[in-house]
Structure 1
């Protein structure tokens, strides 16, 4: 899907005052990252590392793994398409609602697709497909599935492709990466853009068994991770403990924000374990609400109606600063009487 994602403010003439459509950390990149990158500026006069090998070593060391178990990519989207290509034609299940790129990539590489609603996985279903894509925490709902290991264990013939792009935004679940050496049917995708606010640099990685990583490397194009993204990744791992987001404060504000929106009779607010959450407008549909907020208030939300299993009323909101959150609260109060 080339269109229909969040963070599409570039498409509007109207100035966007606050962007609630993107679930990237609103506080900007870590202090010191910009200066560090520009100190490395002369490196752009040379080709980057073919496979971002030095960053693979740092990521592997961070997770106490072998570098051959890590593959650095140009964002999670490259990881998704590489995986879909590597397993072209396989029977694949996607847990829904889900990031559209899982389905788009699998269709491109002729997968035999089935879809499994999130509510059904609580029953630990036995899978008859070759692989399953699951986002945990889930995008767009913010739900977590903390019993994932049990499901992986009960389906040893199915490859579990776990997207952990938002694992840094929850306290209700922990990463599955420590399980990699225990389960060969587990592959984890991790993002370095969401929590560190650098989505424009495109940076992420895959963690899996050496055999799976070798399979992905065999079809990966060279130089997909540019020099500045590579340097940003090095800064992140070298300063990891000093640059984490203030998660407890962010989630506390999410609770205040969502509870206040829940008092609006024209809305239904869904529970979430992350800083973003789904809502439903009980008046008109999300596309009309989106246009109202842009034109009247310069505020941007994510129309979530194009997610499989959601409705025309669904939209996604990310928590920003209290001041900006209050702008949306007031605008949605106006929408109720509009």
Structure 2
């Protein structure tokens, strides 16, 4: 799915006043990151490390793991496609609604696919073997699974592919990266771009048992992580203790934002992240998206292309109070015409 993601404002020939479609941290990149990365510009005159070895070492040391447990990637999307390729023609289940790249990557590599609704997963109705892709916290709903280890321990023949791209945006759960040291049926994908607001750099990593990492590494293209992304990764890990999202304030702001939307023609689905899913009670997501773009230069995420969701679903990220009010006022206008 090359089109249909959030943050697709570049497709529209107009400046945006606010982008509610992306779930990247709106506060911008960490202080000092831009200057540091630009100071490393001369390194682009040489090839980057073949497998981002120095950053691999730094990430492993951060978690007190062996380097064999880590694979640095060109964002979570490369991680997803590497995993799908490594298990070509396998049986895979995807917990839905979910990021479309899981399905696209599995179809590209001839997986036998099935789909498991979030509620079915929570009830324990899991496949006995194969692969299972789950995003926790979930995109687009913001829902969380708090007891994943129970499932990992019970379904030993099932390989859990856990996407933690939004783990920094919740207080309801913590990372399960530590489980990769106890179980060989857990793969954790992490993104380094959403919480640090540098999605254009493309940077992420996989944590898993060494045998799995070796399997993924055997398929990885050389130099897939460019030198500036690599340097950004070094900066982020070296300053990680000083780079903390104001998550409590973000979640508090979200509650106020949702409360202000209560009188609008939308049904808000509660979640545990700064973004949330909303279901229109009049009109479609595509119609609302176009209306907001043309009349107010605001962008929301049409969530109708998430498997399991209807054309009435949108995903909205919480931004600043000023920007949130722009959307509240625009939806008041939408309410009058639908």
Instruction: Specify the TM-score bucket, using the shorter chain as the normaliser.
Output: over 0.9
| 1:280 corresponding residue in structure 2 | 279
Check if 1:325 corresponds to 2:324.
yes
| 2:184 corresponding residue in structure 1 | 184
- Aligned with 1:317: secondary structure? strand
Unaligned residue ranges in structure 2 (runs of 5+): none
Unaligned residue ranges in structure 1 (runs of 5+): none
Mapping 1:1-338, distance limit 5 Å: 1-264=1-264, 266-338=265-337
- Aligned with 1:71: secondary structure? strand
List, as ranges, runs of 4+ consecutive aligned residues in structure 1 with deviation greater than 3 Å.
none
- Aligned with 2:181: secondary structure? coil
- How far residue 194 of structure 1 moved from its aligned partner, in angstroms, is 0.3
- How far residue 257 of structure 1 moved from its aligned partner, in angstroms, is 0.5
Name the CA distance, whole Å, in 2 between partners of 1:130 and 1:336: 46
- Aligned with 1:180: secondary structure? helix
- How far residue 218 of structure 1 moved from its aligned partner, in angstroms, is 0.6
Name the CA distance, whole Å, in 2 between partners of 1:118 and 1:65: 31
Name the CA distance, whole Å, in 2 between partners of 1:177 and 1:92: 21
Name the CA distance, whole Å, in 1 between partners of 2:134 and 2:153: 15
What's the CA shift string for 1:245-273, capped at 9, x where partnerless?
11111111011101211232x11011010
TM-score by length of 1: 0.99
Name the CA distance, whole Å, in 2 between partners of 1:287 and 1:299: 13
TM-score by length of 2: 0.99
- Aligned with 1:171: secondary structure? coil
